[in-house]
């Protein structure tokens, strides 16, 4: 067994945290694509996603090996063209092919001009029995021969090896394989393929691998079956893992993997700023929206970097947020591109927000007592709302038709300029950062 320092890839000095985006590989395995009559990202989707990732600051992008289909092979060409176009502006981004330990996968990736190969093979009992049927010695022999050959013939390639289902592989088995492969690769992956890991087992696994393979960088890949994909990735980063696989919105096989923006947002909240070097954090919400639009859905409500986390529905919250949004918004989401805050009118709204809405946004001449009365009427009416109505429209109708309120006449050009009650917002947050809540 040799555990020498491996060869280095010289073109790039890795940052404290490198995201390996796998939206177009792992993410393409998401059932969400199949729920929307879409089944795959088309070439234009892929090009737009890759462009957004590069602009966001991602330096490693994983794609399927082109052997998967003729279409994949063509798409790699288009993706490479975008990457090349952005090099002068954004630096180099490495394209990595996800390959089985099969010569045909490797050949297809090399032919397509990939910068690196992410080898994987199942090492757990399950994979050995039910998937490829190979025993450990055979796995080792096959992988070693292939990787040695690739290193010899293509020394510029960045190589990674993952024992799939590493968290259900017994440590002595994992060591037997990794001891042989570690000297040949730049990174060792330790994927939690079926989402069984916990923060505690992740910390243990990272410590164990760091101790045994001090010269090889580690890569994590955490599935969300238990809802732990985010916390596991965070713990792994804290324990010294440098490379983390993520996807935009965390999409992937079954419940997916760690969401890229959720991970970076949490590192920011925990003040791990060194890990955020080179990421354009303000692009977080826009990149989530981009992917959600490709899936024909909204950014999901459980996503930390979402408008949902700046949306308020209950009367108590709405009143407080109008005075100081920090009351129910603890995190600097505006720095992650969620620059608006939203108040949704509905049966839970109180008179404060209704007063604000009718007076400041709809220009009614109204006093507080009238607003309270209108609120009482609204709270009855809104329970019978029709699909073609909005709560805002019901309020305007009540104010106009039942209470016969008149409105201020504001000349057209000035209307947009006076809709926000700026005195409710702290001075340092005025301007483009925070324009007051958007009410509807
Ligand atoms: C897969 C499995 C994988 C691979 C991860 C890796 C996993 O879908 O092929 O190559 O590190 O979760 O184990 O995504
Ligand atoms: Cu996976």
User: What pLDDT score does 38 carry?
Assistant: 81
User: What pLDDT score does 9 carry?
Assistant: 55
User: What pLDDT score does 415 carry?
Assistant: 66
Instruction: Report the nearest atom of ligand 1 relative to the CA of 245.
Output: 11
76 and 214 share one domain: yes
Of 106 and 426, more confident? 106
User: What pLDDT score does 89 carry?
Assistant: 94
Find out whether 86 and 50 touch, Cβ atoms under 8 Å.
no
Number of domains forming the structure of the chain = 2
User: Is 2 inside any structural domain?
Assistant: no
257 and 206 share one domain: yes
Per-residue pLDDT, averaged over 427-435, amounts to 43
User: What pLDDT score does 149 carry?
Assistant: 97
Share of the chain above pLDDT 70, in %: 92
Question: Last residue of some domain: 250, 267, 294?
Answer: 294
User: What pLDDT score does 438 carry?
Assistant: 78
Nearest residue (by CA) to ligand 1, atom 7, is: 193
Give per-residue pLDDT as tens, 32-54: 888 777 888 999 999 999 999 99
Question: Last residue of some domain: 242, 262, 294?
Answer: 294
Share of the chain above pLDDT 90, in %: 79
Instruction: Report the nearest atom of ligand 1 relative to the CA of 120.
Output: 10
Largest separation between any pair of C-alpha atoms in the chain: 87
> What is the rounded distance in angstroms from the CA atom of residue 266 to the CA atom of residue 282?
14
Quick one: pLDDT band at residue 416, thresholds 50, 70, 90? low
Is residue 5 scored above 70 in pLDDT?
A: no
Burial per residue of 347-359, b for 16 or more beta-carbon CB atoms within 10 angstroms, e otherwise? ebbbbbbbbbbbb
Of 320 and 26, more confident? 26
Our answer on whether the CB atom of 105 is closer than 6 Å to any ligand 1 atom is no
The model carries a pTM of 0.89
Our answer on whether the CB atom of 164 is closer than 6 Å to any ligand 1 atom is yes
Question: Last residue of some domain: 294, 327, 348?
Answer: 294
Cα 246 to ligand 1 centre (Å)? 12
Our answer on whether the CB atom of 163 is closer than 6 Å to any ligand 1 atom is no
Per-residue pLDDT, averaged over 304-322, amounts to 91
Our answer on whether the CB atom of 253 is closer than 6 Å to any ligand 1 atom is yes
User: Is 306 inside any structural domain?
Assistant: no
Of 403 and 360, more confident? 403
User: Is 305 inside any structural domain?
Assistant: no
89 and 209 share one domain: yes
User: Is 6 inside any structural domain?
Assistant: no
Cα 363 to ligand 1 centre (Å)? 57
> What is the rounded distance in angstroms from the CA atom of residue 229 to the CA atom of residue 60?
20
Cα 300 to ligand 2 centre (Å)? 20
Task: Cite the active site residues.
Answer: 317
Q: What is the domain extent for residue 247?
A: 18-294
Nearest residue (by CA) to ligand 1, atom 2, is: 193
Ligand approaching nearest to the C-alpha of 118: 1
Torsion of CA 284, 222, 201, 242, to 10 degrees: -60
Nearest residue (by CA) to ligand 1, atom 8, is: 26
Tell me, what CATH number does 191's domain have? 3.20.20.70
User: Is 7 inside any structural domain?
Assistant: no
Tokens matching residue 305: 């970097």
User: Is 111 inside any structural domain?
Assistant: yes
206 and 283 share one domain: yes
User: What pLDDT score does 417 carry?
Assistant: 59
User: Is 113 inside any structural domain?
Assistant: yes
Decide the pairing of beta strands 158-164 and 116-122.
Answer: parallel
Give per-residue pLDDT as tens, 218-241: 999 999 999 999 999 999 999 999
User: Is 271 inside any structural domain?
Assistant: yes
Cα 31 to ligand 2 centre (Å)? 13
């Amino acid at each position: 067994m040799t555990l020498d320092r491996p060869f280095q890839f010289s073109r790039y000095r890795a940052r404290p945290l490198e995201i390996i985006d796998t939206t177009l590989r792992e993410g393409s395995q998401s059932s969400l694509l199949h729920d929307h009559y879409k089944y795959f990202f088309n070439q234009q989707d892929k090009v737009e996603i890759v462009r957004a990732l590069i602009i966001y600051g991602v330096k490693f992008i994983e794609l399927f090996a082109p052997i998967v289909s003729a279409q994949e092979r063509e798409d790699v060409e288009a993706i490479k063209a975008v990457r090349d176009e952005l090099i002068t502006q954004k630096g180099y981004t490495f394209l990595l092919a996800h390959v089985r330990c099969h010569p045909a996968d490797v050949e297809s990736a090399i032919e397509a001009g990939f910068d690196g190969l992410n080898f994987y093979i199942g090492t757990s009992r399950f994979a050995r029995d039910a998937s490829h049927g190979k025993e450990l010695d055979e796995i080792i022999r096959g992988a070693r021969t292939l990787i040695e050959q690739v290193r010899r013939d293509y020394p510029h390639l960045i190589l990674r090896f993952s024992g799939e289902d590493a968290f259900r592989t017994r440590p002595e088995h994992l060591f037997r394989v990794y001891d042989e492969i570690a000297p040949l690769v730049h990174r060792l992956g330790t994927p939690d393929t079926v989402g069984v890991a916990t923060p505690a087992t992740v910390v243990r696994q990272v410590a164990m691998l760091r101790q045994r393979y001090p010269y090889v960088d580690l890569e994590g890949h955490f599935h969300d079956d238990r809802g732990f994909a985010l916390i596991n990735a965070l713990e792994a980063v804290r324990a010294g893992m440098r490379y983390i696989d993520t996807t935009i919105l965390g999409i992937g096989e079954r419940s997916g993997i760690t969401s890229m923006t959720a991970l970076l947002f949490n590192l920011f909240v925990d003040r791990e700023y060194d890990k955020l070097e080179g990421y354009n954090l303000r692009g977080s919400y826009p990149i989530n929206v981009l992917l959600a639009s490709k899936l024909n859905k909204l950014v999901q409500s459980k996503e930390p970097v979402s408008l949902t986390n700046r949306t308020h529905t209950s009367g108590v919250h709405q009143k407080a947020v109008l005075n100081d949004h920090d009351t129910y918004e603890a995190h600097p989401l505006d720095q992650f591109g969620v620059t608006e805050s939203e108040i949704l009118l509905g049966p839970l709204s109180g008179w404060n927000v209704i007063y604000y809405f009718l007076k400041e946004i709809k220009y009614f001449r109204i006093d507080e007592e009238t607003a309270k009365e209108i609120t009482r009427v609204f709270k009855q009416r809104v329970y019978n709302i029709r699909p073609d109505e909005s709560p805002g429209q019901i309020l305007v109708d009540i104010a106009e038709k039942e209470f016969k309120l008149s409105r201020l006449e504001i000349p057209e050009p000035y209307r947009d300029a006076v809709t926000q009650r700026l005195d409710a917002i702290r001075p340092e947050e005025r301007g483009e950062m925070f324009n007051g809540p958007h009410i509807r």
